[in-house]
Homo-oligomer: A and B are copies of this chain.
Amino acid sequence: MHALVYHGPGRKVWEEVPKPVILDDTDAIVRVDATTICGSDLHILKGDVPEVTDGRILGHEAVGTVESVGRSVKNVRPGDRVLVSCISACGACSYCRESRYGQCTGGGGWILGHIIDGTQAEFVRVPFADTSTYPVPAGAEDEDILMLSDILPTGYEVGVLNGQVRPGDVVAVVGVGPIGLSAIMGARLYSPSHIVAIDLADSRLEAAKQFGADVTVNSGREDPLEVVRSLTGGLGADVAIEAVGVPATFELATTLIRPCGHVANIGVHGQPATLHLEQLWTRDVTITTGLVDTSSIPTLLRLLGDHLEVRPFVTHHFAMRDFVAAYETFERAADTGALKVVVTP
């Protein structure tokens, strides 16, 4: 088969590789019907993720059709259409038993396209298939389901649920790239009174409006704190969601919230931030970090359609043989307007 293979920083090739085989009784081999590229794939290609070694097939998001399963797999059968979670769950460790699959200590967690070969391929071996795949509802489109593999659960769990968004809240989202947009989409499920999108790029702010932000702030021209205060009688936002991953945006998020507010960090950080405890110590703030668990996939699957329209995430389509072009389009999002690119056989 063919796959997108990492060969060290900056080097990725769509090349012929051996087709994966069942290694464990709990594995499934899945034919990939649709996959996509994530911001973390770009981090890997920059060389920022040293666990990823030469020869690794990238990718951790897929919708596909089960080809074969190990002898212990009970809930998935050949021929089933499945959503492959970006997080593998052993199902038996103390973290998995509390639905915290991202912290799995039994061999799961984020492993696809990271520690083992991933989904940017014609076939993928999916460990712990019973607890790491989800049946695709009849009639659902691959590319809609694909948005539930990583991006939407990430915005929803790490942003919205960790941030404890409630009806009537004012929610500030700092950074409205694809992850920030997924947080906006997830936040709307809880009927906040206002979603304030904050970014430096007008094009992203325009997208944020389409996704449901009702106030947008270009922080290069306006002071987000002033906007948020004007909406909240001077108090600050109930929830601030950080979706960039640099110190300045994290620090901004901590200044935007009201006493008793929540800062939910989703951003992937490469360096420390400054925490202004000299101001925050009396303000009853809660700050959370998190890797997605994808425990919300069943919930999000039930909402797909009328309640949750994910199609606007899909901006581009590619065939697998053009995978390198798909990467280029995704990398140059500022120019191409790419949010998620869907890659199919």
Contact = CB atoms under 8 A, between A and B. Distances in A.
Contact of A190 (B167, B270, B276, B298): B167
B298 A289 contact: no
B275 A102 contact: no
Contact of A259 (B95, B97, B280): B95
B274 A275 contact: yes
Interface residues of A, number: 65
Given A191-B303, A289-B284, A97 B99 contact: yes
Nearest to A70: B72
A323 B302 CA distance: 47
Interface stretch (A141-149, A261-269, A309-317, A335-343): A261-269
Given A91-B91, A285-B288, A303-B193, A275 B278 contact: no
A19 to B, nearest CB: 24
B267 A281 contact: yes
Interface string A291-317: 100010011101100010000000000
Q: Give the number of copies in the complex.
A: 4
B130 A95 contact: no
Contacts of A286: 286-288
Contact of A265 (B26, B191, B277): B277
A84 B157 CA distance: 34
A83 to B, nearest CB: 15
Contact of A300 (B168, B275, B285): B168
Contacts of A247: 277
A213 B191 CA distance: 17
A221 interface: no
User: What is the interface of chain A mostly: helix, strand, loop, or mixed?
Assistant: loop
A139 interface: no
Nearest to A93: B75
A251 B213 CA distance: 35
B298 A291 contact: no
Contact of A166 (B95, B191, B280, B299): B299
Contacts of A281: 245, 265, 267-269, 289-291
A260 interface: yes
Contacts of A191: 188-191, 303, 307
Nearest to A301: B168
A164 to B, nearest CB: 11
Nearest to A246: B277
B290 A284 contact: yes
B275 A273 contact: yes
Interface of A: 25-26, 71-72, 74-75, 91-92, 94-100, 102-103, 106, 130-131, 166-168, 188-191, 193, 245, 247, 250, 259-260, 265, 267-278, 280-291, 295, 298-300, 302-303, 307
Given A99-B99, A285-B288, 6 more contacts: A25-B71, A71-B72, A91-B97, A102-B284, A250-B275, A272-B278
